[in-house]
Chain A
């Protein structure tokens, strides 16, 4: 019976039914769940008391162990809460910084062939540079909700809310609802905080397609299947406040939405894997970017239309008997494919050849593959290969002859690639020092040799061992 209901709900989610239509269901089941829990709590109390009484009676004759059980009976009801502190939120602080050298100016970094994503995608500044310091605060709100805040203090003295969300604990049946601002569940790397990445920077696909990472404001519903094989399905609705969306001023429920599914498991004791498929759709309105047109004038162009992104992700981990202390291996790869259709407005400020609009469509893709190997405790080496395919872009104003391709230089066909090597050392679980070398062909005709040293220090609450 439940399964039928469950599947019906899952289908509704998968088809993207409006949220309002589904609102009653969780409401009802939450109430039902509350009543059930109350009843269960009382029942278990009485049962436990009865059982303990019998137990103590039964063992009254025996000397040592029964004394121990009497103690247990006295202390028995208490359960210390797991992990996070009872009432005080768990707090952690991450300190990061880099010492970097680049053969090209990071200040002019752009990925040729792709619409600039506007995110923080440039390599770290040359020389010493503080990176984002991250403050994490989390706790259970009550038996029904948990809350978390991740705030980043940027080196230029701003505070950014990376995540601030609530998450349900009591929906049950595999459902979890998240609301607020959160790292989207699409792909693999997106949900991982930057300080836990295996390389200092994001892969090129994340930089080009998601502006580094996707953390929209909205809602996420996730469901875990009641199977031994891990199967997780999720749907998100968001305001589309950042790339590939663009903040619109509309009353619509969602300017962006995504669907994702992940599956995974173990292969024996030594291997574990996870694979996923995600779909993101956004309707940006006047999503702007700057470029230099054929006259050498800086112009501002905007795109309005639809953007669709497909992502395939896979991760595989190996450690002898599943004990990662001595040695372990991690392989990770993701493939992104995006199509955009709509209209492109050239020179919105009429700074050069005058404002004009036309159709725009593009089909682009990219992927990366990386491996990280811990060869002795504390030491890891890693290699990453990045590749982007600029694919096909057709601009109406260019095909009609009104403008030339030279007026949109950043959209010119170019397949960026990058090779990255890293070695890092971790004293324990709380500090890490990293050396990273990269040869980055993101900019057409300008290979960039990058070297950096990075530190990551974690204070406070023990970090989560995310898979």
Chain B
């Protein structure tokens, strides 16, 4: 994955880069070293269980987004479509299947090892279920463990839901993982990892909250997707990830104290003109161009929902070493896409108010019903509750056919003009008052 912050080589970035490089080296050598490989999803991921059993995680979604960034997704998607996958369905799935058809080469150009276990953490997205049914057919005979995460349909986590999840973990998921790993779960080790997870989550929330400062020292969306990396790509619970988040917080706090704006791929942003809250995933095929439209116009994303797909921590959830399985269950049920629509609207409203945002923008993703279905109603609700200008653009995650630069740029320019006008009106009103 190309890295926007590489140019200034912050220490946190170097740490993350090393972590990823080590993981991919381990994955390349997995079969030779007898390490077992688990394919799983980011939302509701059980990485502490995987690592505590000395297995290695692979995330098909991350592979897909990296294929998007490396401009490979377009041809992968077409290959999957040739196999009979409809043009209409989620492109992450097609990109992943296309990547497998083309040798399953990871971001380093080396082949990713085949899975020893498909760990379907069915959390917050129905398509995950279909995705893993398809993977199962690509790897006949592979072991499968399935964890059904109930949806927070009533806006809360009930005891029945927790019991259901804990029973699945205890009686099906963990025994299956132990069977594949060839060893028993070491619960002391797991608790130690969960302690680390909680520490990382604490640090991560502090990083996110620096965006309440004016100017914000971070962009919580475009840079946020890098910052959230270690938590979501297989390092939650590790010592290395604690080190990463300590360093990141140190750097970000320094920037905040110096009154600096976020770092962009073209250096530091000069002026923070607009503060936005963004809902929805970014586009990966044209990630840099997309980001550039924002920073060129002085727009900073101060809070985003996408950076909560791997876990919502800023409303207080932390993994609990004393209650490992219950807290894993709560974690899964709490991820952003597992919240019901009223909860999502409440969270966005909270962000707009807490982070003093000037506007709210939705990047609606063609592929993703989990995010997209209902967004237009969410937008109306936010407009009514928060009285901020709302904007709406459409793109896709990894299908380049659905990223129209000109269209998006036009829409964003008009939206920023609207924000500018509103700012002037508010300033006049304030002066008159």
Decide whether A and B assemble into one complex: no
- Residue numbers of A with Cβ under 8 A of B are none
B residues contacting A by CB (< 8 A) are none
